[in-house]
Structure 1
Amino acid sequence: MAKFTDHVAHENAVFIYSPSQLTYKFSDEHPFNQKRLELTMDLLTQIGALNAQQIVPPRTTTDEELLLALDADYIDIVKRAGHGYVTNAEGEPFGIGTEDTPIFPNMHEASASIVAATLTACDYVMQGKAQHAVNLGGGLHHGFKNKASGFCIYNDSSIAIRYMQKKYGARVLYVDTDAHHGDGVQFSFYDDPDACTFSIHETGRYLFPGTGSITERGTGEAYGTSFNIPIDAFTEDDSFLYCYKEAMEEIVADFRPDIILTQNGADAHHFDPLTHLSCTMKIYQEIPRIAHDLAHKYCNGRWVAVGGGGYDIWRVVPRAWSYVWTEMSDFEQPHGPLPEKWLKRWQAESPVTLIPTWDDPSPLFEAIPRRAEITEKNAQTLEKALYTLRHKI
């Protein structure tokens, strides 16, 4: 086992990307659309925040690495499905060939390329080649060891955590700010005291996958290393950020990870068509900043970020994900108007009118009558979620 390095990184931050990630595509009509990667990268390039020297192509991944968190039978059926040898009926017990996760050509190769990019990001950080690394194509947090779920075939984060544990002996904190519960990652490490998972998400009473209650705390020696904050529908910025910041600071201080892996789903925004939260771009300006600060305070700067959900690919995801990279690379947080060239290029394709500024217009939506009630309920949920941490014997 190679221990990770504490040497000064050669690079501040690297952006892991390959066009092969765009082949992870179910259909033209499917809500999971990797065109958001193109939109984000073009926006970052237009403002001068991303250049060719910062972009690192991922290495390939091996079946041995996939097997760290996947079953061999599952990998085999995904391979065969992508080459036309599996029917929907045969694939459904494995979660493929369904409405959410339909079969598409070369699905194994596309899925493996996502994993490869996340593993490349981990190697760069753990080997001290960079302090921070991002793979916005990753974050497929609903995948399980023997089943696809919720648009996710291979769970790159679960594989990456196992990989960092095995190769580097790392204690890993996984943080998930997607509006959907990070179920696949949580349950992969539910009995592992050397991995801690924290997910803040819309309550499962209304939203897929229906898990992520405060009572899901881990099992055995890992009891108390799984944290969930299921916030109420229509939660707004201030309540979201209060819960996230309070929990992050206490969890990191207690668990003392060697590295922080953040999943940055951009679907808690008011415009997202699949969720019911009422957040704005304000949370996406703050989420990576808080993670960045804590990585430097506790982990010698070691921080890997992946993407995740985000289904308003035109108005929300490019701006939200740009903030992950500008924070990670110490580029000044952008405000004011978006580049005219970017707006002109993509408005021609967009079915909705693009937001022309980095910040959302205010007000973005009508006042929510239950705001005070929702805020109070979320504060109570936070207290319950952190109870075991705050009352350790």
Structure 2
Amino acid sequence: MESARFVYSDDFLKYRFHDTHPFNNKRLELTLALIRSFGLLAAEHLIPPRMATEEELALVHTPEYIDIVKQADRETIPVERLQEYGLHTEDNPVFPGIYQAATLVVGGTLTAAEAVMRGHCSHALNLSGGLHHALRGKASGFCIFNDASVAIAYLRKNYDARIMYIDTDAHHGDGVQWAFYDDPHVMTVSLHETGRYLFPGTGNVYERGTDIGLGTCVNVPLDAFTEDESWLHAFEKVVPSAIKQFRPDVILSQHGCDAHRFDPLTHLSATMRIYHEIPRRIHQLAHTYTAGRWIAVGGGGYDIWRVVPRAWTLLWAELSDQRLDDQDLPTDWVQRWQTESPHPLPTRLLDPEGMFQPIPRREEISRKNAIITQQVSQYFNSDKACGQ
């Protein structure tokens, strides 16, 4: 088997709403620079994305919505019409070339999926992907098209595959969940901050799928201010049991890194430790259950200076079997970007022990999460688990 694949084009940077929007794909530039500073990216790793076709987009999205995105940056489309489809809003403002940029992101995830399923590599990564909020006929949460959903539908159509989707973004992976809510061949697992406090407000433990898909939707809503130990306990109690019962052919994982305490849009309190552990654990599950087949995408992450580059460098290092432990960040990278960063850049790959004060409600939060986790894990012992 050849080495892992890293899907990239500078054209991914064109998915950019405006200069002050929280979704800032400069994070891709920062991450790529850090990966290269560590010497982790060889020519053989890189593959360019292709554009998704309209037929591929239509595996998930309605023709009407695809057409409106195609026309969205034309001044002839009334604002009211765009807003019916979630466009020209505060979250999803229209920008020049929006259709081409969004379609390339989807094509990047399809490129990663094809590389894995055709046996060119075991693992492939598209950091521009993970736009998990886009719905069948509507933009949502900074997401125009849902690349993960399109890739899953593509795998179902072309490879008759059973897919495990694992989403560790702080925001619930609602768009992917709803796309496959009644599909017994797709399991969606989302660990996220509870929707009581955070967009999109969904992801309750009782959202378990419907009809023959009952049991193939798994949600672990974590309390606000959840820290590393409780987060990792929830992952370990739920995800291995789910994949063991479901027995997928391939894993598609979404690696939003907005659960970190520095993230400005969420209320979780994790450190870089979980972004060291998540890829390692998914990697092990892939080799245990899916013959190594693992497609990974990016996602949320709004501290683009201190968090995203480190988290996604750790992801690529694990995925490409070039594992990194805690160490100093390359001096050239820190010096290159410090002049632009609004914060002092970290100098270590992981956050130092004791860097953050414990949350005052730690025991209460951990207890609540343990109760939720136990409730979710019980589903895997029921007759209705995993659509069976």
TM range (shorter): over 0.9
Mapped partners of 1:316, 1:94: distance in 2: 32
Deviation at 1:246, TM superposition (A): 1.8
Q: Which residue of 1 aligns with 2:345?
A: 354
Deviation at 1:364, TM superposition (A): 2.7
Q: Which residue of 1 aligns with 2:382?
A: 391
Q: Which residue of 2 aligns with 1:280?
A: 271
Q: Which residue of 1 aligns with 2:22?
A: 31
RMSD of aligned C-alpha atoms? 1.0
What does residue range 179-258 of structure 1 map to in structure 2 within 5 Å?
A: 179-258=170-249
Matched, 1:365 2:339: no
SS in 2 for 1:200: strand
8 Å contact kept, 1:81–1:87: no
Matched, 1:100 2:91: yes
Mapped partners of 1:352, 1:275: distance in 2: 18
Q: 2:334 aligns with which of 340, 343, 363?
A: 343
8 Å contact kept, 1:282–1:359: yes
Deviation at 1:359, TM superposition (A): 1.2
Deviation at 1:386, TM superposition (A): 2.2
8 Å contact kept, 2:184–2:212: yes
Mapped partners of 1:85, 1:226: distance in 2: 41
Q: Which residue of 2 aligns with 1:47?
A: 38
Deviation at 1:245, TM superposition (A): 1.7
8 Å contact kept, 2:226–2:365: yes
Mapped partners of 2:148, 2:86: distance in 1: 18
Mapped partners of 1:51, 1:42: distance in 2: 13
Mapped partners of 1:160, 1:367: distance in 2: 40
8 Å contact kept, 2:3–2:45: no
Q: Which residue of 1 aligns with 2:76?
A: 85
Q: 2:119 aligns with which of 128, 138, 154?
A: 128
Deviation at 1:363, TM superposition (A): 2.0
Query: Which has the larger displacement, 280-289 or 351-360?
Result: 351-360
SS in 1 for 2:3: strand
Output one character per residue of 1:296-348: Cα deviation in whole Å (capped at 9) or x when no partner. 00100000000000000000000001111100111031422100000001111
Return the letter of the residue paired with 2:348: T
Deviation at 1:369, TM superposition (A): 1.5
Return the letter of the residue paired with 1:46: S
Return the letter of the residue paired with 1:150: G
Segments of structure 1 that go 5 or more residues without pairing to the other structure are: 1-8
Mapped partners of 1:327, 1:20: distance in 2: 25
SS in 2 for 1:305: strand
Q: 2:55 aligns with which of 56, 59, 64?
A: 64
Q: Which residue of 2 aligns with 1:19?
A: 10
Mapped partners of 2:64, 2:382: distance in 1: 43
SS in 1 for 2:291: coil
8 Å contact kept, 2:92–2:142: yes
SS in 1 for 2:5: strand
SS in 2 for 1:229: strand
Segments of structure 2 that go 5 or more residues without pairing to the other structure are: none
Output one character per residue of 1:254-302: Cα deviation in whole Å (capped at 9) or x when no partner. 0000000000000000000000000000000000111000000010000
8 Å contact kept, 2:130–2:146: yes
TM-score normalised per structure 2:
0.97
8 Å contact kept, 2:314–2:323: no
Identity of aligned residues (%): 53
8 Å contact kept, 1:87–1:97: no
Deviation at 1:29, TM superposition (A): 0.2
Q: Which residue of 2 aligns with 1:268?
A: 259
Q: Which residue of 1 aligns with 2:309?
A: 318
Matched, 1:73 2:47: no
Return the letter of the residue paired with 1:222: G
Mapped partners of 1:117, 1:381: distance in 2: 35
Q: Which residue of 2 aligns with 1:161?
A: 152
SS in 2 for 1:297: helix
Query: Which has the larger displacement, 104-113 or 380-389?
Result: 380-389
